[in-house]
Amino acid sequence: MMKEVVVLSGKGGTGKTTIVGSLAALAERKVLADCDVDAADLHLLLSPLEKEKNEFWCGQVAHIDADKCNECAVCQELCRFGAINNFRVDAVSCEGCGFCSRICPAEAITMRDNMAGYWFISDTRYGPLVHARLGIAQENSGKLVAEVRRRARQIAEEQGLDYIISDGPPGIGCPVISSLSGAALALLVTEPSLAGLHDLGRVLGLCHHFGIPAMVCINKYDLNEENTREIECECAGQGVAVVGRVPFDNVVTESIVQGVPLVEYSDGSITREIQRMWHTLSTA
């Protein structure tokens, strides 16, 4: 049966993409999904060959026909997003609700479809990769994530693959919820800082809220072993397994610079720890 593992962290920069890149090299029979559609980086480790590029149309933006507009200002008064000023629409502020287009007495406002980004299907030597690029300053990141996951699931089903491995976005909001809902397992990558501990608590709360089982990987665990113990205590208290303790090592940065997954770049203890973690995850 196919299993979807999503890698999240709450706090940014804890090592999600490094871990996903390594799991890409370790797992067999999988499709990879980059759900960080705001700032996707996984492709930088996997040297993808683009097979498909698709436009992502989502939502609408109001447009005022200046010839019809009689400057009554009803739209400006009713728009709750402050998106209409001086009878012009600020496309960045417009949420696409269409309220203005319905109440304009002069029927001067139309809603135009919005191109919100692109999504791609690529081949990598680790298997297929579904990834995306949200347009700058766009909304709808959650919907683009949903599209990425839908395509990844489709590929997994068609090819009878065992795993979907997703690189999630930071935070706990819209695109994170969209990455997480309905997944089989969340792997939460954290770091032993007070900020990391605080943020882990919130993303664990999110997993609990949506009923998704979670496991934790403590990255750079040796930077503060006291905090590492506190994270382990916190996890034990919540019945959450800590499945990996990855040491701090400059070899991680070197592997990113070389653009290859860490476990292929290094054969040191850091690689063995990630191999052990994948073994635990895949047999869970």
Partner 1 sequence: MIISIASGKGGTGKTLVATSLALSLRDDYKVQLLDCDVEEPNDHVFLRPEITGTEAVATPVPRVDEEKCTYCGECARVCAFNAIAVVGNNVLTFPQLCHGCGACAYLCPEKAISEEDRETGVAEWGHSNGLAFAHGKLTVGEAMAPPVIRKVKEHANNEGIVIVDVPPGTSCPVVEALRGSDFCILVTEPTPFGLNDLTLAVETVRELDIPCGVVLNRTGVGDSGVEEYCRQKRIPVLLTIPLDTEIARLYSRGITMVDGMPQWKSRFFRLYDKVSDIVDERSRGPER
Nearest alpha carbon to residue 190 among 206, 203, 173: 203
Dist CA 77 CA 257 (whole Å): 52
Residue 48 as a binder of partner 1 (CB under 8 A): the answer is: no
- Residues 253, 219 contacting (CB under 8 angstroms): no
Of residues 165 through 204, those in contact with partner 1 by CB under 8 A are: 169-177, 191-196, 198-199, 202
Half-sphere exposure of 128 (CA within 13 A, CB side): 24
Interaction of residue 95 with partner 1, rule CB under 8 A: yes
- Minimal distance, residue 279 CB to partner 1, in Å: 27
- State how far the Cα of 223 lies from the Cα of 208, in Å rounded to an integer: 28
Nearer to partner 1, 230 or 273 (CB): 230
| 276: contact with partner 1 by CB under 8 A | no
The identity of residue 203, as a single letter, is: V
Nearest to partner 1 of 11, 151 (CB atom): 11
Look up tokens 């609408």; give the residue.
60
Distance of CA 262 to the CA centre of its chain: 20
Residue 120: which H helix or E strand, with range? strand 109-124
Distance of CA 197 to the CA centre of its chain: 20
Nearest residue (CB) to partner 1, 161 versus 172 = 172
- Selected binder of partner 1 within 4, 34, 38, 167 (CB under 8 A): 38
Shortest Å distance, C-beta 28 to partner 1: 26
Q: Given candidates 86, 160, 211, 257, which one binds partner 1 under the rule CB under 8 A? A: 257
Which residues in this chain contact partner 1 in the complex, by CB under 8 A?
A: 9-14, 17, 38-39, 41, 44, 59-60, 78, 80-81, 92, 95-99, 102-103, 134, 136-139, 141-142, 169-177, 191-196, 198-199, 202, 205-206, 209-210, 220, 223-224, 227, 248, 250, 253-254, 256-257, 259
